């Protein structure tokens, strides 16, 4: 028995199905969906990164050397040397902010400068001049208590500086030098 060498189908081979399109394969659609998700996510991150507040500058003057940023810590060192510390209190009902000395050698006759720095949006930063009172220093002000505030308390000339954070919903916070006294 002889078989023809080029027969289209032999009895032992199963019948062939017509070739299906690659677009009907779920793996192809999975690969396309993953690439589309990566592109959409990249575009979303670029939009967020280039939006308002993305390059909010530090409120301190900063000197740049190569890729290193350095800020002046002299006012913090002076405050640490004088062992200064205070409490900043917000009275929303009465509409004032006050600073109460806790320790150190304060000039009680001189006004103080209180900077209230929004944690992310520089345009919401505020600066108050606190006038001396019998118990500390005070200024009339209404604050948004729905978010945290970074606090900086110092003399008007910027010779010393105390720093702290007022969490959302709290009425008082401790401010201390950023550096430890030697």
Q: What is the pLDDT of residues 57-98, one digit of tens each?
A: 556 666 666 666 566 777 888 888 889 999 999 988 888 999
> pLDDT band for position 9 (50/70/90)?
low
Q: Is residue 41 in some structural domain?
A: no
Residue in the block written with tokens 């810590």: 73
* C-alpha span between 134 and 165 (Å, rounded): 25
Q: Is residue 42 in some structural domain?
A: no
pLDDT for 33: 95
Here the CATH number for the domain that contains residue 110 is: 2.60.40
Q: Is residue 115 in some structural domain?
A: yes
* C-alpha span between 88 and 173 (Å, rounded): 5
Output the pTM of the full model: 0.64
Domain count, the chain: 1
Give the mean pLDDT of the chain: 83
Q: Is residue 59 in some structural domain?
A: no
Q: Is residue 138 in some structural domain?
A: yes
């Amino acid at each position: 028995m002889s078989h023809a060498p080029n027969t289209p189908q032999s009895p032992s081979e199963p019948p062939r199905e017509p070739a299906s399109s690659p677009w009907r394969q779920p793996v192809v659609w999975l690969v396309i969906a993953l690439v589309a998700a990566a592109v959409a996510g990249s575009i979303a991150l670029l939009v967020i990164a280039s939006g308002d507040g993305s390059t909010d500058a530090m409120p301190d003057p900063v000197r740049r050397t190569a890729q290193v940023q350095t800020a002046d810590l002299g006012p913090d060192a002076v405050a640490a040397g004088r062992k200064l510390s205070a409490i900043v209190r917000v009275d929303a009902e009465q509409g004032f902010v006050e600073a109460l000395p806790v320790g150190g050698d304060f000039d009680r006759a001189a006004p103080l400068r209180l900077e209230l720095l929004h944690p992310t949006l520089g345009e919401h930063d505020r600066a108050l001049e606190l006038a001396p009172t019998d118990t500390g220093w005070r200024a009339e002000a209404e604050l948004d208590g729905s978010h945290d505030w970074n606090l900086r308390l110092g003399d008007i000339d910027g010779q010393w500086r105390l720093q702290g954070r007022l969490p959302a919903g709290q009425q008082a916070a401790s401010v201390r030098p950023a550096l430890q006294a030697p």
